[in-house]
């Protein structure tokens, strides 16, 4: 299995259940360590670094299930995410950080909330947002680390059509700013209308790679994956 993500492109990693997408994602983001082979990010190995160090290298990820503190505001949720990726240790404290650090994190969180189009919800409780908005809020949190690579784990799962449209527009905007995005996704309509390239996995191996329109016609892909989807 091998793939490459380039600046200013959106790459999708797809495949049937059990293909190994989540395992691959966890190895790229440093959650798991490969037993062989290597993951290089901007020429440097990812293995051996913790999630904070990887974030500081310029890689941020979201997770399949949105993690939020529902009774806190969108601003506070994004700022806490920024703090956990920040320079100070967690013990030096999410709640007792010095004033300068707190002001910096809140300003950065506000900037990223505006960047993703949620400014009008900045002071709403995070739990009051629709699922699509919560996913976008989570992307704002990931952006606080100032990444050049964004890893998105099934960002369109459970979203309504208009929410998917809003998410796609945001990802296109980030792409135009030079962001590299790797996403694992099951929603083929969402993927094929958005991404630049597609990598297809089955049983832990790459069976196809290319432009969305070419991959859709690939006999191995049709048999392994797309042919089994209603």
Q: What is the 3-state secondary structure (H, E, C) of 123-174?
A: CCEHHHCCHHHHHHHHHHHHHCCCCCEEEEECCCCCCCHHHHHHHHHHHHHH
DSSP structural state of residue 14: E
pLDDT single digits (tens) 93-149 = 455 557 777 788 899 999 999 999 999 999 999 999 999 999 999 999 999 888 999
pLDDT at 230: 42
pLDDT at 169: 95
- Mean of all residue pLDDT scores within the chain: 87
- pLDDT above 70 covers a percentage of the chain that reads 90
User: Residue 45: in which H helix or E strand, if any?
Assistant: strand 44-45
pLDDT at 52: 79
pLDDT at 84: 59
Query: What is the Cα 38 distance to its own chain's centre?
Result: 21
pLDDT at 134: 94
Contact 19, 202 (CB under 8 A): yes
Query: What is the Cα 165 distance to its own chain's centre?
Result: 16
Residue 5 has pLDDT above 80, yes or no: yes
Residue 225 has pLDDT above 90, yes or no: no
pLDDT at 87: 52
Where in the chain are the domains? Answer: 1-58+147-230, 66-145
Assign domain 1-58+147-230 to its CATH architecture.
3-Layer(aba) Sandwich (3.40)
Q: Read off the tokens for 57.
A: 């290298």
* Residue 172's pLDDT band (cuts 50, 70, 90): very high
Question: Which pTM does this prediction carry?
Answer: 0.85
pLDDT at 91: 43
Name which of 19-28, 88-97, 109-118, 155-164 the model is least confident about: 88-97
CA distance 61 to 19: 20
pLDDT at 31: 85
pLDDT single digits (tens) 54-107 = 888 899 988 777 888 899 999 999 998 776 555 554 444 455 557 777 788 899
């Amino acid at each position: 299995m091998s793939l490459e993500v380039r600046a200013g492109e959106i790459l999708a990693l797809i495949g049937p259940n059990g293909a190994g997408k989540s395992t691959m994602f966890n190895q790229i983001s440093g959650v798991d360590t490969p037993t062989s082979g290597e993951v290089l990010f901007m020429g440097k190995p990812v293995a051996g670094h913790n999630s904070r160090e990887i974030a500081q290298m310029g890689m941020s990820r979201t997770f399949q299930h949105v993690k939020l503190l529902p009774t806190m505001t969108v601003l506070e949720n994004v700022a806490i995410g920024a703090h956990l990726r920040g320079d100070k240790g967690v013990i030096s404290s999410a709640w007792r950080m010095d004033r300068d650090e707190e002001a910096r994190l809140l300003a950065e969180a506000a900037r990223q909330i505006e960047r993703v189009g949620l400014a009008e919800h900045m002071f709403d409780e995070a739990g009051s947002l629709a699922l699509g908005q919560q996913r976008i809020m989570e992307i704002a949190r990931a952006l606080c680390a100032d990444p050049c690579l964004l890893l998105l784990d099934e960002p369109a799962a459970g979203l309504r059509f208009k929410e998917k449209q809003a998410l796609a527009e945001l990802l296109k905007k980030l792409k135009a700013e030079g962001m590299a995005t790797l996403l694992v996704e099951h929603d083929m309509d969402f993927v094929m209308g958005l991404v630049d390239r597609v990598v297809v996995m089955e049983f832990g191996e790459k069976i196809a790679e290319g432009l969305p329109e070419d991959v859709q016609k690939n006999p191995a892909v049709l048999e392994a994956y797309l042919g089994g989807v209603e």
